[in-house]
Chains A and B, each alone.
Chain A
Amino acid sequence: MHAPLLISIAAGLIIGALAQCSRFCTMGAIRDVMLTSDFHLLGGVIALLVFAFATNVILGQFRPGFEGQPIAHSNHLWNFLGMSLAGLAFALAGGCPGRQLFLSGEGDVDAGVFVLGMITGAAVSHNFAVASSPKGVATFGPIAVIFGIAFCLIVGFTMIEKAK
């Protein structure tokens, strides 16, 4: 399922350009509020939510509920822990997946390495029964998430710079 090529590429280019010059970042929005009480980026995130909601209502795409949602499952525990792992990894790396793409476009090689890591992670997830499906969590999803959280915690503790 995909939108026509030209619409997709045009939307991608416009969003890429606007997000680059505005520093739009979903992780950064939540981090800034909790770390420095800075609500600037959060304004963008809330606008995204509100305008996507309004457009969905206009286009008849809004269907509230928990069960039978498209390309989703209702395992609350692993929905929560999966995104906890992702949130921790984004926070340590300094940007959400979108922001990493925009940074890689403006020359940040480290963000490019993060993107290649994500691409490898996608291959791993689908080759080793880690990625969920609408049927639910896959066999090795939970253990992979636990392993990932352990990895992030080890990185977190070992990369703390001692005050000189």
Chain B
Amino acid sequence: MKNIFFSRAGIIIVGAIIGVFAALLQYFGNPPNMGICVACFERDIVRALGLHRADVVQYLRPEIIGFVLGAFLMAAFAGEFRPRGGSSPLIRFFLGLFAMIGALVFLGCPWRALLRLAGGDGNALLGLLGLTTGIFVGILFLKKGFNLGRSYSQAAGSGWIMPDLMLGLPYISGFVCTGRSYILQR
């Protein structure tokens, strides 16, 4: 099946939709220059689950749930849902942990760095410069043969866990009972 999104026009349309949606989400009530921020929103989910006590927004951030489930549905529809894994999982866990630490020192993931710049925040330039520098160092490793190892096909059940977790998040925090997270209310 030919994928129109592999074309130049396709990827530009996707980027444009993300940009417009992010600005609109801010307009409809998301935090300023944070229409979408994967790092910040995961952090808010962590707060909603009570895993830290910082005085920040505690909210299940349906955008994150939508991201995973939207990707799951599209992949299933396109025949691209392929459960796979086993490529240095523990290293990836800690890469994720430290990536989050770096993002929360800056206050945003790469998406929010772009959105902060689009909102006029000059500090985002330093973040984007840092992001590029970090990726450049990563490329030096890639060129030298850096590799986390190949992944292998896994049983379908493994691949369902993350989408299931996203489906389960609202239940975990009692969202179905009250229409919103009861942990949301202090």
Contact = CB atoms under 8 A, between A and B. Distances in A.
A101 B23 contact: no
Given A47-B12, A107-B82, A10 B66 contact: yes
Interface string B6-34: 10101111111111111111111111111
Contact of A122 (B18, B31, B52): B52
A47 B16 contact: yes
B117 A49 contact: yes
A24 B14 contact: yes
Contacts, number: 556
Interface string B89-111: 11111111111111111111111
Contacts of B3: 21
B138 A116 contact: no
Interface of B is mostly: helix
Interface residues of A, number: 127
A104 B8 CA distance: 25
B183 interface: no
B67 A102 contact: yes
Interface in A1-31: 1-5, 7-24, 26-27, 30-31
Interface string A21-43: 11110110011001100001101
Interface in B132-147: 132-139, 141-147
Contact of B24 (A13, A17, A55, A81): A55
Contacts of B8: 40, 43
B33 A24 contact: no
B134 A88 contact: yes
Interface of A is mostly: helix
A124 B101 contact: yes
Nearest to B137: A88
Nearest to B24: A55
Contact of B97 (A48, A92, A120, A155): A120
Interface in B72-124: 72-75, 78, 80-111, 113-124
Interface of B: 3, 5-6, 8, 10-36, 38-40, 42-43, 45-47, 51-54, 56-57, 59, 61-75, 78, 80-111, 113-124, 126-139, 141-148, 151, 154, 158-159, 161-163, 180
5 contacts: A5-B180, A53-B118, A69-B119, A91-B134, A160-B145
Given A7-B25, A69-B122, A97-B42, 5 more contacts: A35-B143, A47-B13, A121-B97, A122-B104, A130-B105
